[in-house]
Amino acid sequence: MKNLKGALMFAQSGGPTSVINASAAGVFLEALDTDAITAVYGAAHGIRGVLNEEFYDIGKEDRKELELLKYTPSSALGSVRYKLKDASVDDTDYKRILEVFKKYNVRYFFYNGGNDSMDTCNKISKFLATSGYDCNVIGVPKTIDNDLFGTDHCPGYASAARYIATTIMEINLDAKVYDTPMVCIIEAMGRNAGWLTAAAKLANHKGLGADLIYLPEVDFDLDKFVSDVKNVCAKNNGKCIAVVSEGIHDKDGKLICEYGASVGRDSFGHAQLGGVGATLANIIKEKTGYKTRGVELSLMQRCGAHLASKTDVEETFEAGKQAVRAAVAGETDKMVCYVRKDTENYEIEYKLLPLELAANTEKTVPLEWIINDGTDISDDFVKYALPLIQGEAKAPLEDSLPRFAKLKKVFVEKK
Amino acid sequence: MKNLKGALMFAQSGGPTSVINASAAGVFLEALDTDAITAVYGAAHGIRGVLNEEFYDIGKEDRKELELLKYTPSSALGSVRYKLKDASVDDTDYKRILEVFKKYNVRYFFYNGGNDSMDTCNKISKFLATSGYDCNVIGVPKTIDNDLFGTDHCPGYASAARYIATTIMEINLDAKVYDTPMVCIIEAMGRNAGWLTAAAKLANHKGLGADLIYLPEVDFDLDKFVSDVKNVCAKNNGKCIAVVSEGIHDKDGKLICEYGASVGRDSFGHAQLGGVGATLANIIKEKTGYKTRGVELSLMQRCGAHLASKTDVEETFEAGKQAVRAAVAGETDKMVCYVRKDTENYEIEYKLLPLELAANTEKTVPLEWIINDGTDISDDFVKYALPLIQGEAKAPLEDSLPRFAKLKKVFVEKK
């Protein structure tokens, strides 16, 4: 545990969320008020900004705009999908990071992201330590997927869940409006973890949810799906609402979205998913003759900040502040995490978890919560998720449209 | 002009909107307090409910729930897409309507819908008059498409526009987050009228809009589109956001969505559209190699009541009340419409328009508002639309999720 004096470098990585900037706001506002931190930098486009020596001087920003970051969706500094090689294979990038950190006396490095980003953060932390360069490295979690190990839930998840639940309630009313059969298949994000799809259950809890919910934690069988939909329609005047995760796959591991269209792969080798709702809508139409509609919640579920959960915004903001306090107190190589207290009313504590535990381990929905032959979620999920989506927190309005943060983004002059 | 005493029948038709039930609330609450109206009925699934003698006794509903209808999306009574034949060809349905109206002493008939519904309403009105049955018939406008003739704007449009503008602002931040090229193509509803797509311009007005906007009022040329996108990307680090209407078509009238996939037709003979965003995203990907994403605003744009415009909700509610007052004062065969006053601050008057003028005439976006070679909208649109989206009005929250109206829906006993 070393107490260091120097600059702080903060970077955002991976897919953005509605509230990722709330962590940035927490880090920036806390760091600007911390004596040990001599300058606050925000890397442009994650680790690439460090490698390219492109980062913003956060000290030049208006504090009012930094406060507005709490309600501004997407990564304000820009994000990146860039996988560092293992240092044992190729340490070029690591050496460059060390060089940049030395040049600007960066003694605090914070990486804000999901599984892959925690892996990146962990590798950098280990390399810096091995190199003997004193720099406290903290991972700040972020992912709508809610799949980071070691934390009760992930910053960003609850706002996406609130968006999904609210939107499904509205779609429920819309999709059932005609007196003719209609099957609506809604697609939520989530490759391997069904947390986002499970959020449909919150809409069910309010009586306006989905008839069928399919998570990627269990194998998906197309014939069974067709039969499930037919059974619901038979009982329900031809109406059925199904919510499916983009990552549902058959017992051989083949993605259901691949049944319909070709897909690409991103730089981490993940298949670029999407279109499973439309694919299934077409299949059901063909097999039943019913009118169908595939609805993809698409980018909206991760950027719909106007429906952010206040609980999520405040926790995410605080996670940023906690990261600064921990680092300044000498902590390093850790990720901030949430631990839910065993109290009657929902409460959390902020703790630190070794980065290697957080990196690359995916936390999926417990199999025992997936019920009714893989078509429903138990109330355990509602008990878990409902406290997380409480409260509203959104940008002030200007002409009744959101007034998001406007950063000056003044680059630090290259040395 | 006849002052009649009897029951009121209200029915909802066509695609629902976020605020269509606000008109229902206005009609119901006003009618329940009006002496000349002896009973208030809500037809289940539009005109089909009348034909099937299936309608709800609104007098049995809790007034608090009727108030909540103002903030409850989709047609609470159920909607229908059913085209009445011309009475000169086949008057079976008209005779049946007359029979039902006589049986229940229905002296006020209100039909709530768009172009097709105003046509239905007009036909019924004319038939009843020819038959010598005294019944005051009023059309209550509703359409997110904003394409009804004779009214400054249509109930429901502004809430959809506010949804679209807010969502595009959020997507703008999300889609530009990476340091790699990304073309995002957002699809809005609107077959022949581009009003919804034009709402993207409100996001542009706030600096977070679309680079390119294509309306169905003008022919769409695929090669020019590819070139437009390339030009934007060249100037803009490979980033481009385009918003297109589902109804864009080439100079031969062929729908662009038909370039990609097969489509069906609904009972009015309209092509069932959708997928033009995905189609264009695939084409751009193929032609440029850039990462692309097609985003369909789908049902959410018409049911996203959590983003409803207060101005829209209040006007739509008042349109329902005005309809009752006009009918009771003896007006018939008219549609309620909005006339914008020539005042500095936005203000409207409620007027009545003969139904035959409203029926089947589509009001499209003025061609002179479509600028920059068909890729942008002029500020005239902003001046027109910005006042309409002002204010927030949404359902109260329960567990931070919307508490929509819960109607008892007690059927009137068949006579």
Share of chain B above pLDDT 90, in %: 91
Chain B residue numbers touching A170 (CB-CB < 8 A): 73-74, 299-300, 303-306, 402
String of b and e for B352-368 (b: at least 16 CB within 10 Å)? bbebbbbbeeebbbeee
Chain A residue numbers touching B54 (CB-CB < 8 A): none
Domain-embedded: residue A349: yes
Domain-embedded: residue B182: yes
Residue B271's pLDDT is: 46
CA A222/CA A384 separation, integer angstroms: 30
Helix (H) or strand (E) holding A279: helix A276-288
Identify the active-site residue in A91, A119, A145, A211: A145
Domain-embedded: residue A382: no
Chain B residue numbers touching A169 (CB-CB < 8 A): 401-402, 404
Domain-embedded: residue A166: yes
Whether residue A169 and residue B402 make contact (CB cut-off 8 A), yes or no, is: yes
The residue assigned the tokens 């709490």 is: A70
Q: Which of B48, B178, B401 sits opposite A79 (nearest CB)?
A: B178
Do A18 and A89 belong together in one domain?
yes
What residues have CB less than 8 Å from A20, skipping those under 6 apart?
A12, A73, A74, A75, A112, A142, A155, A156, A316
Query: Would you say residue A270 has pLDDT above 60?
Result: no
CA distances from B182 to A235, B172, B238, B247, B334 (A): 44, 11, 6, 24, 50
CA A329/CA A276 separation, integer angstroms: 47
For B265, the token pair is 């037709």
Per-residue pLDDT band for A2 (boundaries 50, 70, 90) equals confident
Query: Would you say residue B24 has pLDDT above 70?
Result: yes
Query: Would you say residue B274 has pLDDT above 80?
Result: no
Domain-embedded: residue A161: yes
Residue B16's pLDDT is: 92
Do A317 and A207 belong together in one domain?
no
Do A161 and A33 belong together in one domain?
no
SS3 state of residue B2 = coil
The residue assigned the tokens 């067709």 is: A226
Query: Would you say residue A208 has pLDDT above 60?
Result: yes
Residue A1's pLDDT is: 63
Do B13 and B105 belong together in one domain?
yes
SS3 state of residue A24 = helix
Residues of B involved in catalysis: 145
CATH assignment at residue A277? 3.40.50.460
* Residue (of A64, A9, A67) closest to A38 by Cα position: A9
CATH assignment at residue B33? 3.40.50.450
Do A341 and A274 belong together in one domain?
no
Do A174 and A283 belong together in one domain?
yes
Q: What is the pLDDT of residues B99-120, one digit of tens each?
A: 999 999 999 999 999 988 999 9
Per-residue pLDDT band for A260 (boundaries 50, 70, 90) equals low
Whether residue B306 and residue A309 make contact (CB cut-off 8 A), yes or no, is: no
Per-residue pLDDT band for B3 (boundaries 50, 70, 90) equals confident
Q: What is the pLDDT of residues B226-272, one digit of tens each?
A: 999 999 999 999 999 999 999 999 999 999 988 864 334 444 554 44
Cβ contacts below 8 Å, chain A against chain B, sum to: 167
Residue of A nearest to B20 (CA): A174
Q: What is the pLDDT of residues A180-207, one digit of tens each?
A: 999 999 999 999 999 999 999 999 999 9
Do B142 and B199 belong together in one domain?
no
Choosing from A268, A303, A338, the residue where a domain stops is: A303
What residues have CB less than 8 Å from B170, skipping those under 6 apart?
A73, A74, A299, A300, A303, A304, A305, A306, A402
pLDDT (mean) for A151-179: 97
Do B147 and B192 belong together in one domain?
no
User: Closest approach of chain A CAs to the CA of B85, in angstroms?
Assistant: 19
pLDDT (mean) for B191-214: 98
User: Closest approach of chain B CAs to the CA of A216, in angstroms?
Assistant: 22
Domain-embedded: residue A372: no
Residue of B nearest to A299 (CA): B171
CA A188/CA B290 separation, integer angstroms: 24
Choosing from B281, B302, B323, the residue where a domain stops is: B302
Query: Would you say residue B297 has pLDDT above 50?
Result: yes
Residue A231's pLDDT is: 98
Tell me which of A45, A69, A116, A174 to substitute to probe the interface with B (most B C-beta atoms closer than 10 Å).
Answer: A174
Whether residue A170 and residue B305 make contact (CB cut-off 8 A), yes or no, is: yes
Q: What is the pLDDT of residues B78-97, one digit of tens each?
A: 999 888 999 999 999 999 99
Q: Which domain holds residue A17?
A: 6-155+305-361+390-402
Q: Which of B45, B392, B404 sits opposite A179 (nearest CB)?
A: B45
Over chain A, what is the mean pLDDT?
94
Do B134 and B241 belong together in one domain?
no
Query: Would you say residue B273 has pLDDT above 50?
Result: no
Question: Cα dihedral sign for A102, A103, A105, A109?
Answer: negative
Q: What is the pLDDT of residues B316-338, one digit of tens each?
A: 999 999 999 999 999 999 999 99
Do B169 and B298 belong together in one domain?
yes
Q: Which of B74, B295, B304 sits opposite A298 (nearest CB)?
A: B295
For B335, the token pair is 């549609």
Domain-embedded: residue B315: yes
Decide if A394 contacts B405 (C-beta within 8 A). no
Do A237 and A271 belong together in one domain?
yes
Chain A residue numbers touching B166 (CB-CB < 8 A): 306, 401-402
Residue A106's pLDDT is: 98
Residue A60's pLDDT is: 98
CA A297/CA A282 separation, integer angstroms: 17
From A133-142, B80-89, B128-137, the region with the lowest mean pLDDT: B80-89
Whether residue B402 and residue A299 make contact (CB cut-off 8 A), yes or no, is: no
Chain A residue numbers touching B167 (CB-CB < 8 A): 300, 304
Number of residues assigned to chain B: 415
Residue A265's pLDDT is: 43
Do A148 and A64 belong together in one domain?
yes
Q: What is the pLDDT of residues B363-373, one digit of tens each?
A: 999 999 999 99
From A83-87, A224-228, A380-384, B228-232, the region with the lowest mean pLDDT: A83-87
Query: Would you say residue B211 has pLDDT above 70?
Result: yes
The residue assigned the tokens 């993940």 is: A270
Number of residues assigned to chain A: 415
Amino acid (1-letter code) at residue A210: A
Number of domains in chain B: 2
Decide if A54 contacts B153 (C-beta within 8 A). no
pLDDT (mean) for A57-61: 98
Decide if A334 contacts A110 (C-beta within 8 A). no
CA B194/CA B365 separation, integer angstroms: 6
Decide if A297 contacts A188 (C-beta within 8 A). yes
Chain B residue numbers touching A293 (CB-CB < 8 A): 274, 298-299
Residue B268's pLDDT is: 52
Per-residue pLDDT band for A263 (boundaries 50, 70, 90) equals very low
